[in-house]
């Protein structure tokens, strides 16, 4: 009898507690949870605390306003970060010499940022002037203007261009609209056709447009550097950009141009897209813009760094243009700085009208085929027996 009475009391207590939890107004519970911003401390729970711990989950669901505030706060934080990106500084260039060579940067919005980066690189170099031929929000897929080969040819004729740098393709991952004129019974009609992106006809047309731009530069015997696209934030866009890079390189390199691959420079250690990375000084900076396609000033400056390295390989250094006037001096051979050199031989101290002097080391090596005397202590001294 006593055991039954205790059981009834126990059941009654459970029922009263359970009802007490259910009748708590949702507004009150939400207010309690909202005001309690600190994480609850871990403590040992009693049997009843463990039994009613499910009420805590209901409390969390009853406070949607706090969750909304947290999400909106996150969005504001991202916007603030994007707005804090450092913009391109004012570039102060030193006065350029009258015979300064021109670096012509050609392309879309990517070329505009790259041109500013190269201006910063050569701001203190009087022998180099950076100019740009930029059409914003366009590319090789544009169905109207610009006519890239014609415009580039005109630009090469106007100025003393020593090098062309191309950077475009950010908007070329789309279909191509082709308009053909057909004459029927003396009347001209226009027929429009849309080529599907990456289709065989699209690929054929895009290759032709790329090759035409490359030929416009190389036909003038001007060095060409083509900058590839960097990975994008969206996976599909990155895949499309990688596809375009393959088309660029297969047209540029066989024509004697240089394709600058910047893909890996804008990935993290896992080979994935990253908006942040080391700048040219090694400092961690934001390199990519909000679109996930274009760059910040630090990013464009980094792209310019890779282009600058290739320019140095072509011209020897930033001041190699000053050696262009020595081609008429037979005793001065420019090993870098021109595509071709008028000299046909290297001049050495043993040279006599293009022939090695009899009895000289050069004569023994190149005519007689004799080995040069071994230098004692040098690594190629066969007489050295070691220790």
Q: What is the pLDDT along the chain (387 residues), one digit of tens a residue?
A: 555 554 554 555 545 444 444 444 434 333 333 334 434 444 444 444 443 334 333 333 333 333 333 333 333 333 333 333 446 688 888 898 888 889 999 999 999 999 999 999 999 999 899 999 999 989 999 876 789 999 999 999 887 899 999 999 999 999 999 877 777 777 777 778 899 999 999 999 999 999 999 999 999 999 999 999 999 999 999 999 999 999 999 999 999 999 999 999 999 999 999 999 999 999 999 999 999 999 999 999 999 999 999 998 887 654 444 444 444 444 545 454 444 444 445 545 544 555 677 777 777 777 777 777 776 666 666 665 554
Please tell me the distance from the alpha carbon of residue 236 to that of residue 242, in angstroms, as a whole number: 10
Q: Is 317 within the bounds of a domain?
A: yes
Q: CATH number of the domain that 253 lies in?
A: 3.40.50.1110
Q: Is 233 within the bounds of a domain?
A: yes
Please tell me the distance from the alpha carbon of residue 134 to that of residue 146, in angstroms, as a whole number: 10
Phi and psi at 131, nearest 5°, equal: -125, 165
Provide the CB-side half-sphere exposure for 46 (13 A, CA).
Answer: 2
Closest-CA residue to 257 (of 237, 234, 228): 228
Q: Can you list the alpha helix ranges (DSSP code H) found in the chain?
A: 2-22, 26-35, 47-51, 54-61, 64-83, 109-121, 148-158, 200-218, 235-252, 297-315, 361-363
User: How many domains does the structure of the chain reveal?
Assistant: 1
Neighbours of 122 (CB within 10 A): 23
Q: Is 329 within the bounds of a domain?
A: no
Q: What is the dihedral sign for C-alpha 171, 174, 179, 180? A: positive
Domain limits for position 262: 101-172+200-322
Q: Is 288 within the bounds of a domain?
A: yes
Convert 230-281 into a string of H (helix), E (strand) and C (coil): CCCCCHHHHHHHHHHHHHHHHHHHHHCCEEECCCHHHECCCCCECCEEECCC
Q: Is 178 within the bounds of a domain?
A: no
Q: Is 369 within the bounds of a domain?
A: no
Q: Is 145 within the bounds of a domain?
A: yes
CA angle 211-215-219, nearest 5°? 170
Q: Is 114 within the bounds of a domain?
A: yes
């Amino acid at each position: 009898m006593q055991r039954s009475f205790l059981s009834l009391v126990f059941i009654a207590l459970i029922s009263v507690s359970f009802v007490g939890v259910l009748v708590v107004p949702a507004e009150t519970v939400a207010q309690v949870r909202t005001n309690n911003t600190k994480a609850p401390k871990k403590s040992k729970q009693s049997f009843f605390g463990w039994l009613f711990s499910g009420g805590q989950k209901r409390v969390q669901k009853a406070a949607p306003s706090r969750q909304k505030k947290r999400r909106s706060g996150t969005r504001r934080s991202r916007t603030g970060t994007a707005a804090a990106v450092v913009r391109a500084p004012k570039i102060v260039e030193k006065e350029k010499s009258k015979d300064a060579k021109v670096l012509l940067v050609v392309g879309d919005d990517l070329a505009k940022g790259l041109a500013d980066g190269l201006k910063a690189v050569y701001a203190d170099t009087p022998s180099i002037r950076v100019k740009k031929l930029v059409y914003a929000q366009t590319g090789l897929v544009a169905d109207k203007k610009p006519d890239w080969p014609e415009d580039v040819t005109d630009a090469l004729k106007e100025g003393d261009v020593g090098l062309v740098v191309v950077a475009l393709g950010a908007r070329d991952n789309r279909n191509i609209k082709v308009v053909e004129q057909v004459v029927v019974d003396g009347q001209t009609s226009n027929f429009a056709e849309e080529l599907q992106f990456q289709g065989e006809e699209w690929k054929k047309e895009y290759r032709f447009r790329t090759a035409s731009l490359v030929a416009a530069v190389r036909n003038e015997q001007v060095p060409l550097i083509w900058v590839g696209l960097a990975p994008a934030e969206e996976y599909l866009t990155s895949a499309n950009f990688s596809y375009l890079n393959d088309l660029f390189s297969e047209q540029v390199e066989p024509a004697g141009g240089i394709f600058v691959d910047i893909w890996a420079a804008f990935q993290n250690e896992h080979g994935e897209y990253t908006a942040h990375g080391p700048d040219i000084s090694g400092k961690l900076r934001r390199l990519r813009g909000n679109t996930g396609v274009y760059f910040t000033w630090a990013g464009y400056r980094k792209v310019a760094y890779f282009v600058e390295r290739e320019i140095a390989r072509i011209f020897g250094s930033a001041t190699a243009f000053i050696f262009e006037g020595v081609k008429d001096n037979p005793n001065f051979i420019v090993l870098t700085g021109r595509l071709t050199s008028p000299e046909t031989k290297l001049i050495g101290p043993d040279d006599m009208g293009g022939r090695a002097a009899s009895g000289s080391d050069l004569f023994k090596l190149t005519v007689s085929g004799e080995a040069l005397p071994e230098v004692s202590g040098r690594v190629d001294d066969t007489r050295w027996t070691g220790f």
